[in-house]
Amino acid sequence: MKRNQTKKRRKRGRKTGVELMRQVKTEWQKRPVDRIFREGYELKTQGKCPTCKQPINVEEFRDELSWKEYEIAGMCQSCQDKVFEEAEGG
């Protein structure tokens, strides 16, 4: 009986519960900050730094902290160095 109900829903153009959950999950996989700064998110998904827009070389990260910052902001090591040097007053 459930199959018939599912077919009826699809015929009427309504989505099933499973289809709705897939849609919601897909829409909310991005963090809120990624939805706000869409260009940065797109560059990160392309393997580019959102700051300088150059390709990311994962071998250039010096330590675990640099890697974590990359995961958060998507910045390459060079941009991280510039940003945090300025923040530290260097």
Query: In the chain, where are the structural domains located?
Result: 46-90
Query: Pick the residue with more confidence: 79 or 45?
Result: 79
Instruction: Using the predicted structure, report yes or no on whether residue 49 has a pLDDT greater than 70.
Output: yes
Closest to 81 measured CA to CA, from 41, 46, 52: 52
Residue for token digits 């939805």? 35
Measure the N-to-C terminal CA separation of the chain; round to a whole number of Å: 70
Helix (H, G, I), strand (E, B) or coil at 31: coil
Confidence of residue 71 (pLDDT cuts 50, 70, 90): confident
Q: What is the mean pLDDT of residues 46-55?
A: 93
Which residues on neighbouring strands pair with residue 55, listed in sequence order?
A: 48
Which amino acid type is present at position 83?
V
